[in-house]
Structure 1
Amino acid sequence: MLDVQRLKVLREVAEHGSFTAAARALSYTPSAISQQIAVLEREAGATLVERGPRGVTLTEPGRLLAKEADEILGRLAAAELELQALAGLRAGLLRLGWFATAGATLMPRAIAAFQQRCPDIELQLLQGDPDECIPRLRARELELALDDRWASRSAAWRWSPMAPIGYRRSRIQATYDLCSQR
């Protein structure tokens, strides 16, 4: 299997045209660049660069692999950004279910406030009877379900009351800011 770090080395060699310039860009020594390219050539089973007095040129397999490396490294960078966004709850999907009365009274303002505060989190909304929402919550098809009959169901669930951090009128001792939780 091809090594990602060596693909980065090949990309820099392709961009700069010499081991010395690639080494400078990556904070490596020219010898380390040469060694990395030699290992990558063994992994690829092909000669990737031709060494000359004025630097290196890529062979046909080298150009192909450098092009693919650029795409692969770009996709990896994009995946890392997406993972960072998910870890910080700056992006992602939140699936909510609630009963009809909550949908008419509580949810419109709550959704508007949430979307203003966390615009890159996609909300998937389900208005349904608790008998529909609670099984979906248990099946992990929803992350949050509002239930108007919580008292009769509360023995089966471990729950924590939530309120915005700093909410003055709350008697709740443990408060959670859902948008900033990781």
Structure 2
Amino acid sequence: MSKRWAGLLLGVAGLLSLTACGPKANPYFALVMADGKPTVLIAECARDGIDYVTLWESGTSTAPPATRVEWSVEAPTSPLPSSTIRVSTVEAPARITLLETPPEWLNQRDTLPELRDGVEYYLSGGLSNPGSLTFTLAQLRAMAPGEVLTVTGYTEQHVVPEKDWRSAADQACDR
């Protein structure tokens, strides 16, 4: 009888993993206006895991690659010994100003020459479960000094004090 219960519990766990009942996105990055420029903040504990940042105009992500309006940067990578798996060779910087390639990183795509008013943008970064952000320049400009835009779930985001974001990121890293 216990084998039957164990099998049933494993089956239910497997089904739940296929639904939207997964864990919340981790707040490893946030957006802030720094010196009038949209800037990604990366949590200290996540800097060795975020190996790319991609930004594109909402609505163009499904366009053919040749017409997609996108900016993407990534850390240089090298293969693990005796493997085809590649890992980044440098940490992510604490801040990445959008549309500017960080030192030691590589520009992968640059068909987004400028950020424009009235356009919604989508931002994602590489690490397990980081979430993503959508924003407009007007939203970022409306934030008070010391506030950031960050994720609270896969589709939820909100503006919080930067110290609260840093605390949430630290808690997520400790899990």
Is TM > 0.5 for Structure 1 vs Structure 2? no
Please indicate the TM-score interval, normalised by the length of the shorter structure.
under 0.3
More strand per residue: 2
More helix per residue: 1
Structure with larger RCO (C-alpha < 8 A, sep 6+)? 2
Pick the structure with greater CA Rg. Answer: 1
TM-score, normalised to structure 2, is: 0.28
